[in-house]
Structure 1
Amino acid sequence: MTTTAKGTLDVTDWVEASVAEAEGQSKQATAHSQAAFSGDLQGRGRCDWLLVYPAEGPARFVGTQRFEGELEGRKGSFVLQLQGTFDATGAHVTWEVVPGSGSSELAGLGGTGGYENADYTLEFTLG
């Protein structure tokens, strides 16, 4: 049975470094951040990002985030694979639980979802 988890996340401690840049063209960067989750997910996450800032259009990124905490009262950790864009209205992210990454009471977790700015959803199964 698929269940929906909802809540908010607060991204903090953003540290970004330029990797390559050409004047008037795209910029590539890496970043690391932390996130505090509230709602159905209670805990913290650490994320590693790869970013591209095109000369025109929204920034694009991919990343992985290890969540540690609780999902509806079950304790453990899992890894999310993320991709998205960032524009004048904020962050638009889709994510997927990396198969086999769940630990402890979250072993066997699978799911997809994402977030718009600070509001997340995770459609998940726990087998």
Structure 2
Amino acid sequence: MSENTYRMISWEENVVSGEENGPRYAHARARMAYTGVIEGESTVDYLMFYSGAGYVGDHPSPGLERIEGSVAGRKGSFVIRHVVDFDATGIAGRWTVLSGSGTGELAGLSGTGTIGGTHGEKDMPYTFDYSF
């Protein structure tokens, strides 16, 4: 297992438009906890399109996440922009730190990362290549 992991604390999803079992889009808000190079908690908002087959699949979902905590021991907060795919097996995505979003000791933070995992996993791996 990776030494960098994240865990979902909560997930709320609401259909915005479309039918529950048909093509639709939804808003999801989740809370996450990170350990490893990132230590802290976050809130993330996703917009997701479902074709009616039950999963996002070929339509990556955009999301914004604000993480509060530390990166390599430096404290503050920052915002990342996600592009995430969900399917029947799990999640895979990539993300980028939004320029100018760092606060406190994380001012000037930049970087990219990935997330992934299988449905049902408690702790899922992430990567983060960053600089200040």
Could you say which TM-score interval applies, normalised by the shorter chain?
Answer: 0.7 to 0.9
Q: After TM superposition, give the deviation of residue 65 of structure 1 in Å.
A: 0.3
Structure 2 partner of 1:68? 68
- Root-mean-square deviation over aligned CA pairs: 1.6
Could you tell me which runs of 5 or more consecutive residues in structure 1 were left unpaired when the two chains were aligned: 1-5
Separation in 1, partners of 2:50, 2:89: 16
Q: Which moved more, 1:30-39 or 1:54-63?
A: 54-63
Separation in 2, partners of 1:21, 1:120: 32
- The letter of the residue matching 2:4 is G
- Summarize deviations over 1:16-36 as a string: whole Å, max 9, x none: 110111476411100111000
Aligned with 2:105: secondary structure?
helix
Match of 1:33 among 17, 30, 41: 30
1:50 correspondence with 2:38: no
Separation in 2, partners of 1:86, 1:41: 23
- Summarize deviations over 1:54-94 as a string: whole Å, max 9, x none: 13484131110000001111001000000111112211111
1:11 correspondence with 2:17: no
Separation in 2, partners of 1:57, 1:95: 24
Could you tell me which runs of 5 or more consecutive residues in structure 2 were left unpaired when the two chains were aligned: 118-123
Structure 1 residues 18, 57: CA separation in 2 closer, same or farther (over 3 Å shift)?
closer
Match of 1:121 among 123, 127, 130: 127
Q: After TM superposition, give the deviation of residue 12 of structure 1 in Å.
A: 2.1
| Residue pair 2:4, 2:125 contacting (<8 A) in 1 also | yes
Structure 1 residues 102, 32: CA separation in 2 closer, same or farther (over 3 Å shift)?
same
Q: Which moved more, 1:52-61 or 1:77-86?
A: 52-61
RCO higher in structure (CA 8 A, sep ≥6): 1
| Residue pair 2:21, 2:54 contacting (<8 A) in 1 also | no
- Decide which structure has greater strand share: 1
Separation in 2, partners of 1:58, 1:51: 9
